[in-house]
Amino acid sequence: MEKKRCNFNFGSRKNKVSEKFLLYHDTRWCKPEHEDKELFAMLILEGMQAGVSWDIILNKEDNFREAFDGFDPEVVAKYDDAKIEELMQNAGIIRNRRKIEAAIENAKAFLNVQKEFGTFDKYIWGFTDGTVIDHHLQDGNDMPAKNELSEKVSADLKKRGFKFVGATIVYSYMQGIGIINDHWEYCDYR
């Protein structure tokens, strides 16, 4: 018997989703992540996604990981103008100067949070005391674009110097790292 998945055929999404999107849905989306390097990677990928589809980001994810030195925040924090220009010439990623510069600023802010809290994991999961928020959605119309928690986290991230972390991006980020579980109630990948 075929497993049931969330139905993403709502809003502006087309009827077909890519295999990479399905793999992401099945193995990563709304699954708790606690490894700092991956928490940083997802933060940058979510920021890069602003204004484009998640399918595009997933199809370019390997290119992003290579271009951004495996999303090592210590390396990314040291990027200079020459590295920015190199990234701006890389057709395998989103070539948006503001987003690239934000990734560098976010790496610096990320390292500061690690210094203060020991790990970024302790910081970000501290907003829910380590608890996953499960909305038990019935369908896509129930899924908010943002909520009170994403607004609170967004405000705190901005205060700490993070960029491209509005409440909608942060909500998506929290889904991506498993703080929020928005799999449909009937989905076998909950």
DSSP H or E segment with residue 120? helix 120-126
> What residues form DSSP beta bridges with 180?
133
153-159, long-range: CB within 8 Å, 24+ apart, which pairs?
153/124, 153/127, 157/109
DSSP H or E segment with residue 167? helix 167-176
The HSE-up count of residue 84 (CA atoms within 13 Å, CB side) is 15
* Residues catalogued as catalytic: 24, 46, 54
